[in-house]
Amino acid sequence: MPIIAARMRFGHALLTAFACLVFSGAACAAEFASQVTRIVVPFAAGGGTDIISRTLAQEMAKEFGGAVIVENKPGAGTIIGTEYVARAEPDGHTLVMATFAHAVNPSLRAQLPYDTDKDFTPVALVARSFNIVVVNPNAGINSISGLIAAAKAKPDGINYGTFGPGTSAHLAGELFKELAQVKLTAVHYKGAAPAITDLLGGTIQVMFTTVASATSLIKAGKLKALAVTSTKRVTAFPDVPTVAEAGVPDYAAESWYGLFAPAKTPLATIALLNKAVDKSLHAPSFDKLVENEGLIMVGGAPEQLGTYVQGEEARWRKVVHDAAIKIE
């Protein structure tokens, strides 16, 4: 019976894909909307990825005229939720909101229960974001050149906080060390909040943190922004230079959010999902997230996400290798 059921499901998927190719987009959307679509977030509820995913789900539901919900499956550095989607039925109704971790986990971990490159089909690059280099105003460091000078003057005296090994805050710091040719000591925390607390208290001197975790403190004068990690200056902080501008050529470190489906999801279904995402990203509901989370909305063809993530995998593989970072 399981084999018969699997064949029936596969047959239905083929018919659905054929219908999408033959009939109008509206008919295809109506067929797709007859089932619930789930966006799996491999983090706990309440964080930036969760908020972005829920906003996207709300807007995609409007496009489909059906239910699009978020399921949180946190754990093991995003592996639990990601594996769940890799093993899901490839019908487009179970997706994962992948992030920075998706591209670096293959380098950080000796084994993964899925193949990052073969077990997923890209849907759309939802957004890119940047981190921001912040210091305690009382640290006496007022620029990136000042940070480099302090690190060279006291090779063991500058500590930077991270959200944990292999996170964007960690690898952004390791990339800085490599390109600026300085020594900084990573201090790992279980999230941004405790790291920020120690930065405010002077236990650590610098962080390559997220916009969401630092903006209010920067505006209140409790933290000083030295630079943004993006390739270009950003509208949220127009007077803050990029790290590259400020004295570390070729430096760039981005976070990102991309929607993936299981491998072998029909191309017509991917096209339908991609179109819904692309339209959703122009909704006014994303305007506040652009400001609060430092997002740069992207969209575009599925291939754009695939190419982007392959580039990120290669770039961070070198950083991870050079810094000898491993997570067991």
The two three-digit tokens of residue 166, written as one number: 């292999």
Tell me what pLDDT residue 25 has.
Answer: 54
Tell me what pLDDT residue 222 has.
Answer: 96
Given a contact cutoff of 8 angstroms between Cβ atoms, the answer to whether 223 and 134 are in contact is yes
pTM of the model: 0.84
Tell me what pLDDT residue 293 has.
Answer: 79
Tell me what pLDDT residue 7 has.
Answer: 44
111's CB contacts (< 8 A; 6+ apart) are none
**Integer Cα distance of 11 and 266 in angstroms:** 12
The two three-digit tokens of residue 100, written as one number: 């920075």
- In the chain, what are the domains? 2-128+256-322 (3.40.190.150), 130-228 (3.40.190.10)
**Integer Cα distance of 177 and 156 in angstroms:** 13
What is the three-class DSSP state of 247? coil
**Integer Cα distance of 281 and 298 in angstroms:** 8
112's CB contacts (< 8 A; 6+ apart) are 79, 105, 106
Beta bridge partners of 160: 186, 206
In the chain, which residues have pLDDT < 50? 1-24
Q: Which residue in 124, 118, 111 sits closest to 39, CA to CA? A: 124
Given a contact cutoff of 8 angstroms between Cβ atoms, the answer to whether 292 and 118 are in contact is no
Given a contact cutoff of 8 angstroms between Cβ atoms, the answer to whether 157 and 318 are in contact is no
Largest CA distance in the chain: 71
**Integer Cα distance of 301 and 234 in angstroms:** 24
